[in-house]
Structure 1
Amino acid sequence: MTSRGSSPIVLAAGGTGGHVFPAEALAAELTGRNYRLILFTDQRGCAFSGVLRDVETYRIHSSSSLRNKIPYFVRSGFKLALGLFQAIHLLRKLNPCAVIGFGGYASVPTMLAASLGVYPTLIHEQNAVLGRANKFLAHRVNNIATCFTVVEGLPETISSKVLVSGMPVRSGIIDYQNCDYHTVTPESPFHILVIGGSQGARVLSDVVPASIASMPEPIRQRFKIVQQCRPEDIERVHATYASAGLNAELASFFDDLPVRLAAAHLVIARAGASTIAELTTIGRPSILVPYPYAINNHQARNANAIDEAGAGWVLTESSFSVEKLRECLESLIRMPSVLERAAANAKALGEPEAVKKLADMVVRLIRDANISDGCVA
């Protein structure tokens, strides 16, 4: 059996929360198993939390696109080459026992260097359609972990290396996985949580407050709103709610999001992979408005999986109007049994053990490569 001494496991992640949050969850799990970790990210990866905040970190040059147009190709090709050489040098120095990527362009130089260096490799795909970065890497890595049983864009020729792990969520979400859904009664407050993903969503600030403000007062006064907004939108959103006599709680970021999610009767959100995983782990019904410009339209596919399971409802951004949302909310607040059923269906989709499954895959990857557990601190 080959030994790499005190070799680390390298995690390659960066970009948006959908790529970073599962890396944070895996980092916490592997640290709990006494594995030594190192993070490779790009210049954007500067606001990590949890275990990743304290992990030894290297910043690798990467491209922000893999477009075919010549100007983009030249620019991105130069950055990719520079990042590749950086990653090759660092991997030779660190001699990791495994390299794990979480998609996004930040992971490409590291995962490509790892495959060229014959290090054990695994990539994690968060969405229901294979992302461009992971599609580029799929044939080059040893294993692919997915969140969905069916992932559009995965070639059948590599099906033997595909394993379903589910989407790891942060420990704070796991803490509320057994929190019951509170029944809505004709007199009770109706708690709505509005979240726009790690970067917020202006359309939610445009539509949700105006829709609720336009409702009849007896219904409107039952709503208790917690809404994530972009900093530049908070003042106008507050003014809209205040004009309707509502004291909504607004912030650009909520440190206690798991608590807010557990308290919600309904969530209005984008359909990023992390949002879907958190909704299904705790089990909350949702109205999803997929980001229409997501690469490969992956948010629409994520949302459709929720819709098909009866765990929520999908409104395209083009149909997400003040009138349409008011119609949906007025209907749902009168049908508590429908909300309870959707909450149960969401819960049934959840994979609370996903992070343990993914960590087990990493451990098997190392052992299958005949590397001793020198990765363990």
Structure 2
Amino acid sequence: MSGRAPLILLAAGGTGGHLFPAEALATVLRGLGLRTALVTDERVGALADRFPAEEVVSVPAATPSGRSLVRAIEAAGTLARGVAASRALIRRLEPAAVVGFGGYPTVPPLVAAWLAGVPRVIHEQNAVLGRANRFLAKRASLVATGFPEVRGLPSLPQGRVVHTGNPIRPAVIEAAGAHYPAYHPGGTMRLLVFGGSQGARVMSEIVPDAIAKLPSEMQRRLAIVQQARDEDLARVASTYRALGVEAEVAPFFKDLPQRIASAHLVVSRAGASTVAELAVIGRPSILVPLPGALDQDQAANAATLADRGAALMLPQKDFTPDRLAAELERRFSNPELLASAALAAREAGVTDAAERLAAAILRLARIDPAPSALKPGI
């Protein structure tokens, strides 16, 4: 290894759910004087521009799913090419450790690290072990988890599993400093609605019709911020205009953490990052887990807040305009319900998960950070 600071190679699928915790860890590692690089896939897009890494590399990856033998063979060939490319990358970068955050783009670099004998960490954000991490778990030097209990973990020797929580990006930590906004009957009711790339459609189909069923006096006091796909924007916005409801509708919000902090109530899917951010910021929510998922990971994520009284978990089959309207009216008519749910959410939040994960990686890789960079507890 050269005389430069040690490098940690991060691997994550190219969506926010995997990249946001990787971004949070990279920020902490750089603050500790380490270098970082990122391996991901072509979906990363503009998210790569702000990622705190010396370089962002894409390697071949594929999801070996489906029943087609031809596609399975093609996926295996793509993954093999990804492993070869990752081995070359590891020889060039000489990382002190490789850390994966789930998704099949993490498989080639983690397998390459295993073959090269480089320390390997996987982080599971969900309350159910994902398929890629399930494959990698027994090949990992350490498995870090976002939740205290994770279904699907294989039996591993003592000390190979550590609960760190889900790393939270700096924008969320900043938003967490805002107190729950005061709400009282007769005042403005701030509702935030988002669903992510796989969930915005159902929100556009259900939420406007639910708002139409609310009493007119309640409609006049609503201020809605809603994510909608491009093809749904005009319809959703026109529905709110016809109802006289104040609404901002857009396909994406760059400042989503600040929007969460400003909301009295959030209606959303239950991805791991969403659940972690709702907890850290401390906002009540109605969570609609993505249906049809093989592992039902979003349902398990949502249950961690629902069991505390911080959220209502509403299966999509029950997510109807009538049911949602009733749940909204109940909450906005009872400020104490919202306030107690906000407190319960905040009590579930883990604000130092990135620092915990960084400390575990440094111990595994036997790296001593600069003393001036250390924070209490690391």
- Aligned equivalents of 1:4, 1:154: Cα separation in 2: 37
- Aligned equivalents of 1:53, 1:278: Cα separation in 2: 20
> What residue in structure 2 maps to residue 60 of structure 1?
59
- Aligned equivalents of 1:90, 1:270: Cα separation in 2: 36
Tell whether 2:318 aligns with 1:319. yes
In the TM superposition, what is the alpha-carbon distance from 1:67 to its structure 2 partner?
4.8
> What residue in structure 2 maps to residue 202 of structure 1?
201
> What residue in structure 1 maps to residue 160 of structure 2?
161
Tell whether 2:155 aligns with 1:152. no
User: 1:118-267 maps to which residues of 2 (within 5 A)?
Assistant: 118-158=117-157, 160-198=159-197, 200-267=199-266
> What residue in structure 1 maps to residue 373 of structure 2?
none
Deviations along 1:226-274, one digit per CA (max 9) or x if unpaired, are 1111122111100111111113011111122122111111000000011
- Aligned equivalents of 1:160, 1:66: Cα separation in 2: 32
> What residue in structure 2 maps to residue 271 of structure 1?
270
> What residue in structure 2 maps to residue 93 of structure 1?
92
CA contact (8 A) 1:27 1:51 kept: no
Amino acid of the residue matched to residue 256 of structure 1? D
Number of residue pairs matched by the alignment: 371
CA contact (8 A) 2:12 2:18 kept: yes
Tell whether 2:304 aligns with 1:305. yes
> What residue in structure 2 maps to residue 338 of structure 1?
337
Amino acid of the residue matched to residue 322 of structure 1? P
Specify every segment of 5 or more residues in structure 1 that has no aligned partner in the other structure, as ranges.
none
CA contact (8 A) 2:15 2:43 kept: no
Deviations along 1:23-52, one digit per CA (max 9) or x if unpaired, are 111111111122111111123222225752
Amino acid of the residue matched to residue 101 of structure 1? G
- Aligned equivalents of 2:339, 2:8: Cα separation in 1: 42
Note closer, same or farther for the CA distance 1:54–1:353 as it changes in structure 2 (3 Å cut): closer
Note closer, same or farther for the CA distance 1:124–1:54 as it changes in structure 2 (3 Å cut): closer
CA contact (8 A) 1:122 1:143 kept: yes
CA contact (8 A) 1:61 1:80 kept: yes
- Aligned equivalents of 1:53, 1:207: Cα separation in 2: 38
- Give TM-score scaled by structure 1 length: 0.94
User: 1:4-15 maps to which residues of 2 (within 5 A)?
Assistant: 5-6=3-4, 7-15=6-14
CA contact (8 A) 1:280 1:346 kept: yes
- Aligned equivalents of 2:305, 2:311: Cα separation in 1: 6
With 265-274 and 182-191 compared, the bigger mean Cα shift is at: 182-191
Question: What's the C-alpha RMSD, in Å, of the aligned pairs?
Answer: 2.0
Paired residue secondary structure (2:175) = coil
Deviations along 1:262-308, one digit per CA (max 9) or x if unpaired, are 11110000000110011000100000001113341100110111111
Amino acid of the residue matched to residue 165 of structure 1? T
In the TM superposition, what is the alpha-carbon distance from 1:68 to its structure 2 partner?
6.1
Specify every segment of 5 or more residues in structure 2 that has no aligned partner in the other structure, as ranges.
371-378
Paired residue secondary structure (2:286) = strand
With 267-276 and 244-253 compared, the bigger mean Cα shift is at: 244-253
In the TM superposition, what is the alpha-carbon distance from 1:16 to its structure 2 partner?
2.1
Paired residue secondary structure (2:317) = coil
Amino acid of the residue matched to residue 289 of structure 1? V
CA contact (8 A) 1:24 1:49 kept: no
- Aligned equivalents of 1:54, 1:90: Cα separation in 2: 15
- Give TM-score scaled by structure 2 length: 0.93
Tell which has more relative contact order, 1 or 2 (C-alpha 8 A, sep 6+). Answer: 1
